[in-house]
A and B are shown apart, each in its own frame.
Chain A
Amino acid sequence: MNGITQSTALWYASRATGVVSLLLLTGVVLLGVLVNRQGRLPGLPRFVVTGLHRNLSLLGVVFVAIHVITAVLDPYVTIQITAIVVPFTSSYKPLWLGLGAISLDLVLALILTSLARARISRRFWRSLHWLSYAAWVSALVHSLFSSTDLQGGLLLYLTIACTLAVLAAVIWRVTHARREIPRAGRAAATLDMMSPRDDPRAPASPRDRAGRRAPENVR
């Protein structure tokens, strides 16, 4: 295999950032399922699941941006700049690149609606967010067939692993109910975690606290 030269730098950059984008998007989808099922990453605080889901998606957009820009700038193949967002209009491999454009369009829609969440109705945001699965499938097929990179060797195993992971996550999401603490009892459950009491309705008292002394001005 030839090394990266000045003429092939953009091509390698596009392929490399493409692989990273796919990995990031896979991670985001897996985290999204975890957020929905109110799961946790072992050993990490609860907010990390949502926070990582959001931050990785933004990082993914950065890598996708580099991926498409280097692909357009690369002189070896002709890809019109409009083909980035308008599917199937590229001169080079219009079908596979078109799927990439579809994926990008969907991801942009997801990111923009999520940033504007305070201003739009929750129902609209949620129904749009279902398209994330379509975005991932589109990205996967685009990745597999736009170049031969993912069709052999280590990258093929990586692709198979990503596919199996998302498949497993979807099956888990469909089959497992969320942790069924009724909403009304959630705050009580958290409160009980803080200071276990037999009766959550009992008023707090200094004597309940194991090992605590009474205030000094009481004897």
Chain B
Amino acid sequence: MTYGTTVPYPAPHPGPQDSHPAGTAPARTGSEAAGDLPRLLPVHGAVPVDLRSHLSRYGAPPYFGAPGKLIPVLKAAGLTGRGGAAFPVHRKLEAVAEARTRPIVIGNGAEGEPASDKDKSLLWISPHLILDGLQLAAEAVGSQAVALYVHRNARLQERLRAAIAERAAAGVDVAAVEIFDAPPRFLAGEESALASRISGDPAMPRFKPPRVFERGVVGRPTLVHNVETLAHIALIARYGPAWFRAVGTPGEPGSMLCTLHQADGRRDVVETGLGTPLRDLLRLDGTQAVLSGGYHGAWVPTADAARMTLSNADLRAAGAFVGAGVLVALPARCCGIAETARVARYLALESAGQCGPCFNGLPRIAAALDEVASPRPDPRAVTDIIRWAGLVEGRGACHHPDGTTRFVRSALHVFRDEIRNHSAGRCVDPARQPFLPLPADAALDASDWS
């Protein structure tokens, strides 16, 4: 597991600070000065934080004493989910808190995206922030059933169990936390796949409606939050919305963890404020394009990326989005189409095999991309890809086909010069040296999803 070191940042992105209604949260100063980074990760080095250091830096989790009180605080802070969808956190909590049956709260640490390391890093280094967030969220929705959904990594799970036991013994936790296994699949972290898995079935997405906040794990309303989101909740509850908003932009407040893939192959997890210029995060010289949002994200040419900040306001204009903070700088020496073809093949094999358009369409798209990545490709391949992309979008139980086609379409656009090159029989990297990270094994039978 790589977890990198944090990079301290200068003054936060300038912007008027929002004031929060007086009395919604205690304003604390001291070691967590507003505007300072890092917040989620330790200040010095990537050393795992134990309970004592956690309590001495942040204090005990500030339980509110009654359900629902945390929600207006989160609303004032404007926290959005850090799992990729950026859904307003307070709205999810409100929806689950309104449920008539007792809800379940799950921390999602599956991180099926191969290019993302931030959740693994946070679980390893700052598990107590995540566990605080779980307890506070459970209190807010009136739940006593709490769980963490993480990879099958024996060392990580042992650490987490020890941390949970320590907290229970010290009386820090109010609800017992169970740990559930996530299979190493791309879709394992999708919220309905998570609900399926924890209910005892394979981790495959389910048809919606109903959504998991209405009927999730064993049919009960389920609150699912990414582990980083829970860590932010734990801090907002202590330091208040204004503190949270001291970093980031007014429209997209706060900090987030990003996984940066530099052109020289370095891979780091850093914490940065939203609105940070991309050129401050990635070294852009010698690169041709930036991938933002992971393998369901989109490519942006370097010329454009150099002028953009880490914000949906900028990235959406280029067809991309912030997502879970995966940023990859593609070196100029790589063939963008070949890289896209490799990833498309992986995404096709990661289909759950439930929906015809997905398990039929994605392999065809991947094979056609492979064709386009070869010298003198069949000219129909590109039009085939575009046609199939239109046929699979919106036709699945989950957004796997949509995300894949977004990724593929952006590649066809951004790497069109390289496609023209291939038609003429040339390629910038004929040896097709792999750059984008992919796991070695593909799922071939049902047990790989359990």
Interface set of A (CB-CB < 8 Å, partner B): 46-47, 50, 119-122, 181-188, 190-191, 193-195, 200-201, 203-206, 209, 212-218
Contacts and interface: CB of A to CB of B under 8 A. Distances in A.
B426 interface: yes
A187 B430 contact: no
A103 B286 CA distance: 69
Given A183-B446, A206-B375, 5 more contacts: A184-B353, A184-B446, A185-B353, A187-B351, A191-B349
B128 to A, nearest CB: 36
B374 to A, nearest CB: 6
A183 B204 contact: yes
Nearest to B443: A184
A183 B397 CA distance: 14
Given A122-B207, A203-B434, A206-B432, A213 B356 contact: no
B446 A182 contact: yes
B434 A182 contact: no
5 contacts: A183-B204, A183-B354, A184-B444, A191-B366, A216-B375
Q: In terms of DSSP, what is the predominant structure of the interface of chain A?
A: loop
Given A185-B353, A185-B445, A187-B351, A195 B370 contact: yes
Contacts of B356: 46-47, 50
Contacts of A122: 207
A121 B209 contact: yes
Contacts of A191: 345, 348-349, 363, 366-367
A218 B422 CA distance: 13
Contact of B349 (A50, A181, A187, A213): A187
A189 B351 CA distance: 11
Given A216-B375, A217-B430, A187 B353 contact: yes
B280 to A, nearest CB: 34
B353 A186 contact: yes
Given A184-B443, A184-B444, A188-B444, A205 B349 contact: no
Nearest to A190: B363
B449 interface: yes
A54 B159 CA distance: 54
A19 to B, nearest CB: 33
A120 B209 contact: yes
A206 B374 contact: yes
Interface string B426-450: 1100111010000011111110110
Contacts of A120: 209
A195 B359 CA distance: 15
| For the complex of A and B, 7 pairs with smallest distance between CB atoms | A183-B353, A186-B353, A194-B367, A215-B375, A190-B363, A187-B351, A191-B363
Contacts of A188: 349, 363, 442, 444
B73 interface: no
A210 B350 CA distance: 26
B4 to A, nearest CB: 27
Nearest to A122: B207
Contacts of A121: 207, 209-210
A184 B356 CA distance: 13
B21 interface: no
B362 interface: yes
A203 B448 CA distance: 20
A204 B345 contact: yes
Given A191-B345, A191-B367, A194-B364, A201 B374 contact: no
A205 B430 CA distance: 10
A99 B171 CA distance: 68
A206 B430 contact: yes
B140 to A, nearest CB: 27
A212 B349 CA distance: 25
B225 interface: no
Contacts of B374: 206, 209, 212
Nearest to A120: B209
Contact of B426 (A46, A184, A215): A215
B118 interface: no
Interface string B323-358: 000000000000000000110010011111110101
A187 B425 contact: no
B375 A201 contact: no
B445 A184 contact: yes
A214 B350 CA distance: 30
Contacts of B19: none
B360 interface: yes
A184 B449 contact: yes
Given A121-B209, A215-B430, A218-B430, A187 B342 contact: no
A190 B440 contact: no
Contact of B363 (A182, A187, A214): A187
B212 to A, nearest CB: 13
Contacts of A200: 349, 442, 444
B351 A186 contact: yes
Contacts of B366: 191, 194
A73 to B, nearest CB: 42
A120 B209 CA distance: 6
